[in-house]
Amino acid sequence: MEARGWDAVIVKGSDPHGSEYFAPRWEQVRRISGFTGEGDLVVTRDAAGIWTDSRYFILAGRELEGTGIDLHKTRVPGAVMIPQWLAERFCDREGTVVIAVDGLCQDAMSIKEISEAFARAGHDGDEDGLRIVDCPDLPDEVWEGRPAIPSEPVITLGEDITGESREDKILWLRNFLIDSGCDAILVSALDEIAWLLNVRGSDIPYNPLVISYLVVSLDSVDWYVTKGRHLDEETRDSFEELRSEGIGIHGYDEIDPALSAIVGDGGRLYVDEATLNYHLYSLLEGDFLVPGPSPVPLRKAVKNETEISGIREAHLEDGLAVEHFLYWLDQRMSLGDMITERDASEMLHALRADIPGFRGESFETISAYGEGAALPHYVTPEDEPPVLQPHGLYLCDSGAHYLFGTTDVTRTVPLGPCTELECEDYTLVLKGHIDLAMAIFPAGTCGAHLDILARNPLWQARRNFGHGTGHGVGHYLNVHEGPQSLRQNLSNVAFRAGMTITDEPGIYREGSHGVRHESLLLVVDAGKNDFGSWLRFENMTLCHIETSILMTGLMTKEEIQWLNDYNCRVYETLAPRLEPEVAEWLEAKTAPIAY
């Protein structure tokens, strides 16, 4: 920084496509800071800080202790975000403030926010104000042996799985271009590309994505994807299938000249600044660039009948695996066997791996006992994983990709006697889970309108959780999918029939325990009347909810009835496909509880 005259460096926790999860090549925040959660790093000549949300506050506090890197909490009242922090830090600075970024991993929108914050503080973008320096692949200078861009096999999915051909999706996107008065659109978000082309890959751990860019014009489709000369047979066949449908296949690094050619010819290019990286944006900036939100996420979020059918199948098969796992866990604990968190997650993986169509976990399994469960995104240590004890609570948050759908389920179960506080927390979180699942609401309702349903039982007891209450889940795609969400932050994305959303309130007590109950809900039509159109939720997850430690005196009759009905449905659906001893065990676990 001294040698280059930089006042600050921003290291973004992302990749060139604005991804939430990314390949090892882009784990630059972890490499530089040692912080293993999700967050962004800022370094000045006399300070450094990590910006992350409540899922990682405890983890960051532990990992950053003694490093000289400060923790900056986001999504909390009074949070000072990176643009404001930088502007305030240099508000009295004379001359130009120089901020360096890896433009490949910094989205264009965030650079705009920094410029606006500096303008408000009296620094503008002239020669005496703010200067942003784009340094593509900046981590190369401090990261010896940095991993290469991955190039894993690519597969195509048929219409029997996706319910809609790529030809129809491209036609829809072209109609959007016509309505927008544009000649082409650059799609840089990887899940959007996978959905549009009906392709899947494994370039990113736990995400069936292919690192690439897609340019769709009114008369051509060009995919910038190849990252090596040697392609496996499966990928070659997939590329040939795409070429036969008129889709051009190009090198990943050919995107820069291709975009320059489009704008050089005077074409109007539509881009989403939220996912377009700053490096490409700086090459394209001009009157021919038309910024706006991508139309793909909302279209992708509303599942068609084929996708919904696949999601149901995924949850049926997944439910059988998870119930076998919980049965195994219950039996082993009752025998006094020594089981570690790692043993448990490996058993669950093995059970899922036997299911035809299994394509891997949809995220790293959170197998957490006791105080580990107080970390919402806990990772079991590689060395000396904790041993499960015959008391207290065990939380398992896991999911899988199948060719026909993706799952995400959390169950918290007692391993023996629990404290009164553990039982109370367990019950209050479950009340919130049930109250949200029972919701009936008018069309046009957004996630922020319903979030209170899951929090109210906790709020009444002066308790809360810091993460969002729910996220969409893709159809054999990302386990975190928008634009719909359930959180306190105001969002103008209304729920629509066909959307999915998780229902996952929780409570976390540092050094003691954590509780989370999570199922996947499908938004379905609930009829019309004189007051308008109505929607409700259908629970897609098939895994029983433990009742043995409930404080039923805290629950309403309606909540208990819902729980009895749900557990009954789980048993009746899964029992015919379970071994007799497992079915008998599940019958006991799902026995109705009294009001």
Q: pLDDT digit string (tens) for 380-412?
A: 998 999 999 999 999 999 999 999 999 999 999
Q: pLDDT digit string (tens) for 503-562?
A: 999 999 999 999 999 999 999 999 999 999 999 999 999 999 999 999 999 999 999 999
pLDDT at residue 225 above 60? yes
Name the pLDDT band for 323 (thresholds 50, 70, 90): very high
Position 412, amino acid: T
| Of 331-345, 421-435, 476-490, the least confident | 476-490
Domain 302-589: CATH superfamily is: Creatinase/methionine aminopeptidase superfamily (3.90.230.10)
Neighbours of 588 (CB within 10 A): 9
Q: Is 580 left (phi over 0), alpha (psi -120 to 50) or beta?
A: alpha
**What pLDDT is attached to residue 492?**
85
**What pLDDT is attached to residue 124?**
57
Distance CA 511, CA 501 (A): 30
The answer to whether the beta carbons of residues 321 and 543 sit under 8 Å apart is no
Sheet architecture: strand order including 269-271: 247-251, 221-226, 213-217, 184-187, 269-271, 289-291
| DSSP helix, strand, coil percent of the chain (3-state; round to 5) | 35, 25, 40
**What pLDDT is attached to residue 43?**
96
pLDDT at residue 438 above 80? yes
**What pLDDT is attached to residue 301?**
98
| Exposure on the CB side of residue 46, measured as CA atoms within 13 A | 3
Ranges assigned E (strand) in 143-299: 155-156, 184-187, 199-200, 213-217, 221-226, 247-251, 269-271, 289-291
**What pLDDT is attached to residue 20?**
87
Q: Do domains 155-300 and 302-589 have the same CATH topology?
A: no
pLDDT at residue 477 above 80? yes
Q: Which two tokens stand for residue 28?
A: 């630059």
CATH of the domain spanning 8-141? 3.40.350.10
CATH of the domain spanning 155-300? 3.40.350.10
Sheet architecture: strand order including 405-406: 358-361, 400-402, 405-406
pTM listed for this prediction: 0.93
Q: Which two tokens stand for residue 260?
A: 């320059």
Q: pLDDT digit string (tens) for 563-590?
A: 999 999 999 999 999 999 999 999 999 9
pLDDT at residue 125 above 70? no
**What pLDDT is attached to residue 117?**
92
pLDDT at residue 42 above 60? yes
Q: Give me the residue spans of the domains in the chain.
A: 8-141, 155-300, 302-589
**What pLDDT is attached to residue 373?**
95
Query: What average pLDDT score do residues 465-485 get?
Result: 96
Query: What average pLDDT score do residues 251-260 get?
Result: 91
